[in-house]
């Protein structure tokens, strides 16, 4: 469960990205975060992920105050989270396989299991045939699916996806969303930031709407 209490975020350049955000997201929920460009969606996900620190307020993650977690434990928390970054954040010098495998390697998973799970998740996102390619030789949509595969491969407790379908054609976008839905049915909390309203309409899930850093509708839990 993720709880946010009076979370504010002001970036260095005095940009007020989030203002007094209060949210509660249950374990296993499937949530869309929506809002126009610059509304603060990415900022919200980054704060939940711990790569940005709120200027004020509290975040409770499974009953623990996120901001009081010692830095050396942050990696442990990240291993339980999958994040699909809006800019993918792939390592361009490593193959697709190695990029996805990295998420498991840092956890110390053995090579045999890594091979099995990476191949399986690459099949999910239809990228087996690109396993040995370097990211920069792939199309935008393919790179995005590598990022998705890397977030899913570790069976995360929480999946944070920032515009995960931005580069995908509508058909693939729906497939990816169905994959996410499946994952959430197995107990993963899925939080998807998107401004693709047709996608939101298609999936009957909770929608949290942002405008200029404020929650204007917290939606109903499905």
Partner 1 sequence: MGERSSLVYTVSDAAASIRENPVTVALSAVTVGFSLAIFTLFLIVFINISGVVHQWGEKAHVIVYIKDNSVKGGISELKANLTLLGEVESVTYISKDDALKILNTGFEAGEGLLEGLKENPLPASFEIKLKDSFRDPKLISNFAEKVGSYRWVEEVQFGGEWVEKFAELISFVKLTAVILGTFLIVATLFIISNTIRLTVYARREEIEVMRLVGASNTYIKAPFVIEGVTSGIVGGLIAYVLIYLGIHFLGSQIPSYFELDFQSTLSAPFLLLCLILSGVLLGAIGALVSLGKFLKV
Ligand X SMILES: Nc1ncnc2c1ncn2[C@@H]1O[C@H](COP(=O)(O)OP(=O)(O)OP(=O)(O)O)[C@@H](O)[C@H]1O
User: If binding is defined by CB under 6 A, does position 39 make contact with ligand X?
Assistant: yes
Task: Give me the least distance between CB of 193 and Mg ion, in Å please.
Answer: 6
Residue 13 touches which of Mg ion, ligand X, partner 1, none (Cβ within 5-8 Å per kind): ligand X
Residue with smaller CB distance to partner 1, 78 or 214: 78
Sign of CA dihedral 59, 41, 38, 217: negative
User: If binding is defined by CB under 6 A, does position 53 make contact with ligand X?
Assistant: no
Structure tokens at 28: 């296993």
Please choose, out of 28-36, 38-46, 56-64, 107-115, the segment that lies near Mg ion by the rule CB under 5 A: 38-46
Sign of CA dihedral 165, 168, 174, 178: negative
As a whole number of angstroms, the distance between CA 83 and CA 187 comes to 16
What is the distance in angstroms between the CA of the first residue and the CA of the last residue of the chain? 15
User: If binding is defined by CB under 6 A, does position 42 make contact with ligand X?
Assistant: yes
Residue 7: CB atoms within 10 A of its CB come to 23
DSSP state of 204: -
Which residues on neighbouring strands pair with residue 84, listed in sequence order? 161
Task: Give me the least distance between CB of 166 and partner 1, in Å please.
Answer: 19
Task: Give me the least distance between CB of 104 and partner 1, in Å please.
Answer: 9
Residue with smaller CB distance to partner 1, 103 or 208: 103
Residues that bind ligand X (CB under 6 A): 11-13, 15, 17, 35, 37-43, 86, 195
């Amino acid at each position: 469960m993720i709880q946010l209490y009076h979370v504010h975020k002001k970036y260095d350049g005095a940009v007020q990205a989030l203002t007094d955000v209060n949210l509660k997201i249950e374990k296993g929920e499937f949530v869309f975060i929506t809002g126009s460009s610059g509304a603060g969606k990415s900022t919200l996900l980054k704060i939940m992920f711990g790569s940005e620190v709120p200027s004020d307020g509290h975040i409770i993650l499974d009953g623990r105050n996120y901001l009081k977690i010692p830095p050396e434990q942050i990696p442990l928390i990240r291993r339980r989270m999958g994040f699909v970054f809006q800019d993918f954040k792939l390592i361009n010098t490593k193959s697709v396989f190695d990029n996805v495998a990295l998420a498991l390697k840092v956890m110390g998973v053995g090579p045999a299991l890594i091979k099995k799970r990476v191949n399986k998740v690459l099949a999910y996102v239809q990228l087996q045939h690109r396993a040995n390619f370097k990211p920069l030789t792939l199309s935008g949509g393919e790179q995005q699916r590598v990022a998705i595969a890397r977030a899913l491969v570790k069976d995360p407790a929480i999946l944070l996806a920032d515009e995960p379908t931005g580069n995908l054609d509508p058909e693939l976008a729906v497939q990816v969303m169905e994959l996410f839905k499946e994952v959430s049915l197995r107990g993963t909390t899925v939080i998807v930031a998107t401004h693709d309203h047709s996608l939101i309409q298609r999936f009957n899930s909770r929608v949290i709407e942002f405008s200029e850093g404020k929650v204007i509708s917290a939606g109903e839990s499905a």
